[in-house]
Amino acid sequence: MFRTRLIRTLLFGWQGFVRNGWLSFIAVITLALSVMAISVLGVLNQANKQIQKNLENKLDLAVFFKDAAPEEQVVDFVQQVNKRSDVQEVTYIDKDEARQTFLDENSTDDALTSAVSELDNPFPRFVRIQGDSPSTLAQLNDFANQTAYQEIVESTSYQQTKDIVANFVNTAKFTRLNSIVVTIFFIFYSILVVFNMIRLAIFSRREEVEVMRMVGATNVLIRLPFVVEGIIFGLLGAAISMLMLWIAARWESGQLMRYFSLTDAMSLPTSYYLQYFSVLLWMNVLVSVMLAMAASYLAVRRYLRV
């Protein structure tokens, strides 16, 4: 008996979906676009968090020394920094290494490389200090700027590094806030569209509902097909959303390979899509079906009095 009722309910739901034709198509496409937008925003939010984490892990403090500073005092400074428990790595770069790095990075610019000679080396000695966390950079900067080292320390990169982190954090917060606003908009928009589709379906089949009521159909049998119709909206919307995400990933991968000569497969959007396919699929199905079910339930409760 239960199996028969279930099959009948699913059949009525499918018939309602097919009968509405273009209205069903509009609802499915709306859900697909909404779920795709939510998925993209979710991925971007996670990407921002990962980029921020990687950026913070690579942050270091560069301490530049005066040309007149005695080498012994510079070496002593480096040794004192190495003894700190909040320091992971210290790299000392002398004037010759700094000059050679500059020449290697600008080897194609003859004007720049010819302006730098071994006899007239304008690059200062400096040390790169990698802390155990971004919060230690301020403490390391205070250490370098203390009175004992004023005669040898010219400047540090703390302010520049601080500005980079602050700008990225502000951008990430702005992106996250916009993502939340856009996600809420798409959620309400999807619910509104499906809600109206189910409402129109109820009005168009009110005579059929009256007949079912007169022959003794239960409230569940009358209401559930409309909810099933909403679930069909959600499933098809999730499927189309996954297809559009794949098309977008393929297009973006092609653009990256074309304009940036990016050939590392793991850096391409298609690789991320395939790597997290199951997560994206379940997320799309869950969000799409839940939105459609919620809209269908609200419409049935509001307009189908049985």
| Residue 157, domain member (yes or no) | no
81 and 40 within one domain: no
236 and 90 within one domain: no
More confident residue, 191 or 43: 191
279 and 194 within one domain: yes
* pLDDT, tens digit (0-9, with 9 covering 90-100), for 208-231: 777 777 777 667 677 777 788 888
d(CA 101, CA 173): 35
CB distance 34 to 126 below 8 Å: no
d(CA 305, CA 142): 72
Residue 265 has a pLDDT of: 46
75 and 121 within one domain: yes
115 and 40 within one domain: no
Kindly tell me the burial class for residue 2, based on how many C-beta atoms sit within 10 Å of its own C-beta (0-12, 13-18, 19 or more).
Answer: exposed
Q: How far is CA 68 from CA 13, 65, 156, in A?
A: 85, 8, 17
Give the predicted TM-score (pTM) of the model. Answer: 0.60
Amino acid type, 285: V
* pLDDT, tens digit (0-9, with 9 covering 90-100), for 164-201: 767 777 777 787 788 788 888 888 888 888 888 788 87
123 and 35 within one domain: no
**How many domains does the structure of the chain reveal?**
2
278 and 206 within one domain: yes
214 and 245 within one domain: yes
* pLDDT, tens digit (0-9, with 9 covering 90-100), for 72-112: 998 999 899 988 888 888 889 888 888 787 777 776 766 66
Residue 196 has a pLDDT of: 83
Amino acid type, 270: T
Q: Pick the range with the lowest mean pLDDT from 63-77, 138-152, 170-184.
A: 170-184
Q: How many CB atoms lie within 10 A of CB 1?
A: 5
76 and 37 within one domain: no
Domain of residue 76: give its range.
60-133
293 and 177 within one domain: yes
CATH number at residue 113: 3.30.70.3040
- pLDDT category at 37 given cuts 50, 70, 90 is confident
